[in-house]
Amino acid sequence: MGQDTYWFEAITRYDRDSYKTFAQYHYRHVAPGVPSFLLVVGVMTLCWGFLRLFADLDDWPLWPFLAGAVLLAIGGNLLMGRFGSNVKDPQDNRIRFFDDRVEYAGRQEQGFYRYDQVVRLRENQRYFFIYIAKNRAMMVDKAGMTLGTPDQLRVFLAQKTRPQYR
């Protein structure tokens, strides 16, 4: 596979809070269009329902109010990170960074990604988000680093994934 020496290592706990953090970050910074679209269409549907109500009090459908409320609820919950945060069995994943790949190992799965598979790198104060697909990311807890520092890892990732680091 390549060199067996890894340069950085982190332990990331995948639990309810980490999934919530990922969902909030993802839908606010990476893919804000989905919840925004749902919120706008939800408001428009509710407004249309109110217009129908005032236009003809005898014949107004209930569905615009229900559909608008559902769309608003889904969009709001995406922005708050409530979907996907019902993890029943939290686990710790060990993530190691080699010259040619990043490996992950947890209780349920293990594997690796080559750096050329990384489509996007993002971070917030607590995590690095290493996107392997549009909606799939590995989270690296900066506080869980057991080898190297977050600043060193940031430079390393910028070199290995260039120009994907955004």
Provide the token pair at 136.
């799939």
What is Dmax (Cα atoms) for the chain? 75
Instruction: List 14's β-bridge partners, or say none.
Output: 91
CA angle centred on 121, ends 115 and 123, rounded to 5°: 140
Q: What average pLDDT does this structure show over 105-117?
A: 87
User: What confidence tier does 84 reach under pLDDT thresholds 50, 70, 90?
Assistant: low
- 164/166 Cα distance (integer angstroms): 6
Rounded mean pLDDT of the chain?
A: 85
Q: Which CATH architecture has domain 8-14+88-161?
A: Roll (2.30)
Break the chain into its structural domains and give their ranges. 8-14+88-161, 25-80
42-63 residue pLDDT tens = 999 988 888 877 777 667 678 8
Q: Specify the pLDDT at position 164.
A: 56
Q: Specify the pLDDT at position 24.
A: 83
Residue whose entry in the numeric block shows the structure tokens 């993530």: 95
**Cα dist. 29→11, 21, 26, 160 in Å?**
24, 12, 6, 23
pTM for this one?
Answer: 0.75
Percentage of residues in the chain having pLDDT higher than 90: 34
116-125 residue pLDDT tens = 889 888 889 9
Cis peptide before 61 (omega within 30 of 0): no
CA angle centred on 59, ends 55 and 60, rounded to 5°: 70
- 143/1 Cα distance (integer angstroms): 28
- Residue 142 makes CB contacts below 8 A (sequence gap 6+) with 10, 123, 125, 126, 127, 128, 150
User: Order of strands across the sheet with 8-14?
Assistant: 110-114, 101-105, 91-97, 8-14, 145-147
Nearest to 119 by CA among 154, 161, 153: 161
User: What confidence tier does 137 reach under pLDDT thresholds 50, 70, 90?
Assistant: confident
